[in-house]
Structure 1
Amino acid sequence: MIGAIKQAWANFRGFDLTGSTVPPMDGPLRPNSKLDAAPVLLDLADVDNLVVCGQRIVCSVGREIHTLAPTAGDSGYALSISRSRSMDKPVTSMAAGADLLAVAVEGEGIRIESPDGASSELIAIETLNAHCVTAMAFADRSTLLVAVGSDRNPAHGWKRDLMTKTAAGSIWRIDIGTRTAVSIASGLAFPSGIIVSNDRVFVSEAWRHRVLSMGVDGSRQQIALGSLPAYPGRIAPASEGGFWLAMFAPRNPLVEFVLKEDEYRARMIETIDPDYWIAPALATGRSFLEPIQGGARKKLNMLKPWSPTWSTGLVVRCDKEMAMVRNYQSRADGDVHGVTSLCEVGDQLLVGARGSGKIVAIQELAGHMA
């Protein structure tokens, strides 16, 4: 009876009792086009896992690991591929320590390598799902923290993990010397980013739109940043203190609604190619089969920046407590979408937009301390 009265009152007043309302892009997330204005350092399709290891900039593309070197470009500083090497299977995540590079190879395990790949040691933990290592971070030279996005889906199946409402992610602490691992957190909804700061670990929990804070043993778990309008991904340290947070796709009210319609969603998953699901994406506008292409998206044959979209580009600067300070965006009509990795090099932040296949540079770090 009480429920019926609440529903009737909500219908009369226009309240949303389904929880499908997406928080607005406001305050520190106020819309802008700064990523589109940033200089493009390198066009590299499917670029991912940007890290700095020693003096080298390293990234991955599928099963290839590329070492990048500065070069002269049309607008000055640019990047080029100076060296490449191939792994047996796709690389899902990388992390850099002082003189070590951790490389997660899908279905194989985690390789601890020298920056140039001359030496390599495989760590394969039977209880750790090597098919879905989404992020890693060194706590110290002998300890590696690993985020496993899901025990049920591989890393490339992240869209299926969301649309099946799976919460089978976990965080592991690996002792590199003894090759042992212990799970410090489980039941997470696709942890996709991790970083260690002093005695705290910050973890992006993508499908619950939040960043968690916990101790290095998994204790004292609490929400550090919640109710986000996009899906948070990898986290990188900022040289001036605080963090950089990549958000790889925006939330969409229609997706939030579909997530509550179990019968419709099950039929969609069963009968439609994942590229054309009503679901977030790293890039859009590549096929006429994609949903929502007309209507509010275009006016006078022009795509508007405020249009409903499945993909966007979003980088957020956070302070040491993970509170948002400012952001850099590529909106619906932009072309720096699907940001999955980032790292600081000198006085600039390199941003890897996997969806658009670009590495761009944010060059206004100095004087913006969080």
Structure 2
Amino acid sequence: MIGAVKRAWANFRGFDLTGSTVPPMDGPLRPNAKLDAAPLLLDLADVDNLVLRGQQIVCSVGHEIHTLATAAGKNGQALSITGTRNAGKPVTSMAAAGDLLAVAVEGEGIHIERPGRASAELIRPEGLNLECITAMAFADPSTLFVAVGSASNPAHRWKHDLMTKTEAGSVWRVDLAAGSAVSIASGVAFPSGIIVSKDRVFVSEAWRHRVLSMGLDGSRQQIALGSLPAYPGRIAPTAEGGFWLAMFAPRNPLVEFVLKEDEYRSRMIETIDPEYWIAPSLATGRSFLEPIQGGARKKLNMLKPWSPTWSAGLVVRCDETMSMLRNYQSRADGDVHGVTSMCEADGRLLIGAKGSGKIVAIDELARHAAK
């Protein structure tokens, strides 16, 4: 009886009893098209793990690692590939500290490349799922913090991890000298970004739409940034203090609803190709077989960019406490979608959009720093 009354009252007032609502893009997340207006530096399909190693810009594409350098372009400086090497298997994450580089290779382990050494040191810490190292960050030259997205899925099956509601990620502190690792957090819902700041570790918890803060030993866990309208990903430091936070896909009310419909979701997973699931995506509009949500598509031959969409581009500038300050977006009708990594180099922010296969630059850092 009470349930019927609650449902009737909710229908009358317009309440959402399914929990499928998504927070609005407002305040520091107010929509804009700054990523689409940013200068294009390089077209590079599936670009990921953009990091600055010393004075070199490095990124990965599948099992290849590219070294990039500035070159003359149509609109000023561009990027070109100056070197390529093969890691043998897909590179799932990279982190740099000065000239020190850590490369996580799917199923193989973490390669530590030190300056002046011809070969890399391979570390295979016991207990980690080496197929799903999603993010890494150096605390110092001998300590590496590692985010493992899932204990049961490889990194490229991130959609499976979300749609099966696995929530089996973990955070580890790795002693590079000893090659050992200690788990400092478990049961994390796909940690996809990590950074160390003084005595705190910030971790993006993608499937719970928040960023966690914890001590270097995993103690004093708290929510630093919550109720996000998109899935948070990798975190990069800024020269002026604070962080850059990538959000690799927007949340969608239909996806939130499907996550609550267990039978439907199970049948979808069993019978439909993951590319066409009702699930977030790094890029959309490539096939007519993709799920259609009318509000996010075309009406009278016009795309409605303010409507909910399956993919978008979003980078957020946060302060030292992970409070949001401003953002750079590519909306539904844009073409810089699926941002998974970024780094600062030469006084500008380089942004790698894996979904769209582009590297763009934000050149207004000095203007914001002067305010």
Q: TM-score range by the shorter chain?
A: over 0.9
> Aligned equivalents of 2:218 and 2:156: distance in 1?
26
Specify whether residues 105 and 261 from structure 1 end up closer, same or farther in structure 2 by C-alpha distance, changes over 3 A only.
Answer: same
SS in 1 for 2:367: coil
Match of 1:48 in 2: 48
> Aligned equivalents of 2:281 and 2:164: distance in 1?
16
> Aligned equivalents of 1:97 and 1:335: distance in 2?
31
Does 1:362 find its partner at 2:354?
Answer: no
- Bigger drift between 305-314 and 345-354 goes to 305-314
> Aligned equivalents of 2:234 and 2:267: distance in 1?
31
Deviations 1:120-146 (A, max 9, x none): 000012311000000000000100000
RMSD of aligned residue pairs (Cα, Å): 1.3
How far is 1:116 from its partner? 8.8
Contact 2:296 2:309 survives alignment (8 Å): no
Match of 2:89 in 1: 89
Deviations 1:331-355 (A, max 9, x none): 0000000000000002100000000
Contact 2:50 2:57 survives alignment (8 Å): yes
Specify whether residues 152 and 117 from structure 1 end up closer, same or farther in structure 2 by C-alpha distance, changes over 3 A only.
Answer: farther
> Aligned equivalents of 1:4 and 1:241: distance in 2?
52
> Aligned equivalents of 1:257 and 1:344: distance in 2?
38
Match of 1:225 in 2: 225
> Aligned equivalents of 2:264 and 2:59: distance in 1?
38
Report matched runs for 1:18-29 at 5 Å: 18-29=18-29
Contact 1:313 1:330 survives alignment (8 Å): yes
The number of equivalent residue pairs is 370
Match of 1:343 in 2: 343
Report matched runs for 1:95-114 at 5 Å: 95-114=95-114
* Structure 2: gaps (5+ residues): none
How far is 1:367 from its partner? 3.4
TM-score, normalising length: structure 2: 0.97
What is the identity percentage for the equivalent residue pairs of Structure 1 and Structure 2? 81
Contact 1:151 1:169 survives alignment (8 Å): yes
Specify whether residues 223 and 295 from structure 1 end up closer, same or farther in structure 2 by C-alpha distance, changes over 3 A only.
Answer: closer
Contact 2:126 2:181 survives alignment (8 Å): no
Report matched runs for 1:133-212 at 5 Å: 133-212=133-212
SS in 2 for 1:368: helix
Code of the residue aligned with 1:233 in structure 2: it is: G
SS in 1 for 2:366: coil
Specify whether residues 195 and 296 from structure 1 end up closer, same or farther in structure 2 by C-alpha distance, changes over 3 A only.
Answer: closer
Contact 1:236 1:245 survives alignment (8 Å): yes
* Structure 1: gaps (5+ residues): none
How far is 1:296 from its partner? 5.1
How far is 1:88 from its partner? 1.4
Does 1:247 find its partner at 2:247?
Answer: yes
**Structure 1 ranges of 4+ moved more than 6 A:** none
Contact 1:50 1:58 survives alignment (8 Å): yes
Deviations 1:179-227 (A, max 9, x none): 1100000000000000000100000000000000000000000000000
How far is 1:299 from its partner? 2.3
TM-score, normalising length: structure 1: 0.98
Code of the residue aligned with 2:49 in structure 1: it is: N
